[in-house]
Amino acid sequence: MKIAFVGCGYVFDIYMRTRWAHPELEVCGVFDIDAARLSTVSRHYGFDVYPSYDALLADPAVQIVVNLTSIRAHYLTIRRALEAGKHVYSEKVLTTDLDQTRELFAIAESRGLVLTGAPCNLYCDAVSTMWKAVRDGAIGKPLLVYAELDDNPAHLMELEKVQSPTGAPFPYAEEFQEGCTVEHVAYHLVWICAMFGPVTSVTAFSKALVEHKTDTPLSPSDTPDFSVGCLDFENGAAARITCSWVAPRDHRLRIIGEQGEICADNAFHDQAPVHLERFSRVSLSARKAYTVRTQPLIGRIFGIGGRRLPLVRRWKSHAVEAERGVGHSLKHRFVSWLRRREVYAQDKLLGIAEMTRAIDEHRPQPMPADFLIHLNELTLLIQRAGTTGIAMKPQTTFTRFEPLTDVATSPRDYRTSYRPHFFERLLAGTMVALHKR
């Protein structure tokens, strides 16, 4: 498939990190309204540059426009691409106006085009593993999700000094103006809604807590930097999602079922370790003890945290296991290795790869339009809840869908392959005795 990028800012370099693993995506060229940025990107990656967006859209070779522009430019950029007959893959959030989002999908449908977009962590190994384990019944009936997206106290992080490997400044002003919820909550909504279905009620709270995040004037200056959304799902499950630029970093994903818990440590790491704990009287009671709770190695003996699951491997799993072509210096390579190992690793091209694979195989898109519209609405409901938030009923819904076939049919059964820890089994009787007079 032939693709072209519009918008070559900070996130563009993240897309480029895994390009080596996607030879099927042929880049025809790039365009950005910032000429300096365009020439840097062209020099660094060797891409052809279009003189204008019109020129990009007029190129008959381009089949997919990948929109990485700033959020405020999304609506027009996407609309023009669709009107020019191109499929579109867009960064999130598609737009910050539900009617505009609906309009874009209506244009795409009327022209037989695909409109889809980020986040694509739904397809990554860690989320695929969690989804397969839930479907295997590893935690019994899933009941509750706790999802965190605290991204550190932004005002202390000197974000003004953060740059991508080719020197694009981190767009901190835009991030503050759009807000942590609009920027981040979809990383959780995408997997939670895919697994549990449509949301029938949202009770949310959002507030701007840190008054002064930067000396740069912001407009608006009071976008919430904290939100919590409680979601009621049609299937009976519930979720609580927290986003902030106030609390220290915590990107955990947890699914609690009647029989156990599945958790992953990092929503921003495609291969984050996934742990399954099947609850036992031992592991649940041991948590009451301070030392057991606060010393992970001791906790493990009692079954707290369960077992690390072998990850489902997908067709592009290798993409985040190496990086070629973004930075060449020793420092770049060291930082890249450290980041992939410890901090985050995302294959942002995976969404485009899954999109093109579905087009090539004449299959429906793995993320249907009604699903993406629903995520868009939920994002805006949570962001705009304010401090007097009450339960809100979303106007939108979607038809539930299955995981991709290779995930659904992965041969490993996470329920039957689970073994409790030795001590957990040994202490089962003792725990009963300790709870008696």
The residues of the shown chain that bind ligand NAD, judged by CB under 6 A, are 6-12, 31-34, 37, 53, 68-71, 73, 77, 91-92, 168, 171, 174, 183
**Closest CB to ligand NAD among 8 and 392?**
8
User: Measured on CA atoms in the order 346, 347, 348, 354, is the torsion positive or negative?
Assistant: negative
State how far the Cα of 147 lies from the Cα of 121, in Å rounded to an integer. Answer: 14
**Closest CB to ligand NAD among 15 and 414?**
15
**Closest CB to ligand NAD among 172 and 302?**
172
DSSP 410: -
**Closest CB to ligand NAD among 36 and 433?**
36
User: Least Å distance between CB 77 and ligand NAD?
Assistant: 5
User: Least Å distance between CB 51 and ligand NAD?
Assistant: 12
Residue 258: count of CB within 10 angstroms of its CB: 11
Residues 143 and 237 sit within 8 Å (Cβ to Cβ): yes
User: Least Å distance between CB 1 and ligand NAD?
Assistant: 21
Element (H, E) at 369: helix 369-383
Q: Where are the alpha helices (DSSP H) in 119-239?
A: 125-135, 172-178, 180-184, 186-196
Residue reference for tokens 């049919």:
409
Q: Cis omega (within 30 of 0) on the bond before 220? A: yes
User: Least Å distance between CB 67 and ligand NAD?
Assistant: 8
Q: Which amino acid is at 369?
A: A
State how far the Cα of 250 lies from the Cα of 236, in Å rounded to an integer. Answer: 26
Please give the C-alpha separations between residue 282 and each of 137, 319, 426, in angstroms, as whole numbers: 21, 40, 9
User: Least Å distance between CB 108 and ligand NAD?
Assistant: 18
**What b/e sequence results for 112-131 when a residue is b if at least 16 CB atoms lie within 10 Å of its CB, and e otherwise?**
ebbbbbbbbbbbbbbbbbbb
Bridge partners of 266, per DSSP, are 251
Q: Cis omega (within 30 of 0) on the bond before 228? A: no
User: Least Å distance between CB 94 and ligand NAD?
Assistant: 9
**Closest CB to ligand NAD among 379 and 410?**
379
* Angle in degrees, CA 169, 171, 175, rounded to 5: 160
User: Least Å distance between CB 163 and ligand NAD?
Assistant: 10
**Closest CB to ligand NAD among 73 and 107?**
73
**Closest CB to ligand NAD among 75 and 302?**
75
User: Least Å distance between CB 91 and ligand NAD?
Assistant: 4
User: Least Å distance between CB 392 and ligand NAD?
Assistant: 24
State how far the Cα of 73 lies from the Cα of 67, in Å rounded to an integer. Answer: 9
**Closest CB to ligand NAD among 65 and 407?**
65
State how far the Cα of 433 lies from the Cα of 437, in Å rounded to an integer. Answer: 8
**Closest CB to ligand NAD among 256 and 352?**
352
User: Least Å distance between CB 71 and ligand NAD?
Assistant: 5
**Closest CB to ligand NAD among 77 and 128?**
77
Task: Give the neighbor-by-neighbor strand order of the sheet with 64-67.
Answer: 26-31, 2-6, 64-67, 87-90, 115-117
**Closest CB to ligand NAD among 89 and 302?**
89
Residues 156 and 1 sit within 8 Å (Cβ to Cβ): no
Residues 204 and 381 sit within 8 Å (Cβ to Cβ): yes
- Looking at beta carbons, which residue is closest to ligand NAD? 9
Q: Read out DSSP for 66-77? A: EE-S-GGGHHHH
- The token pair at 9 is 């800012």
Compute φ and ψ for 226, nearest 5 degrees: -150, 135
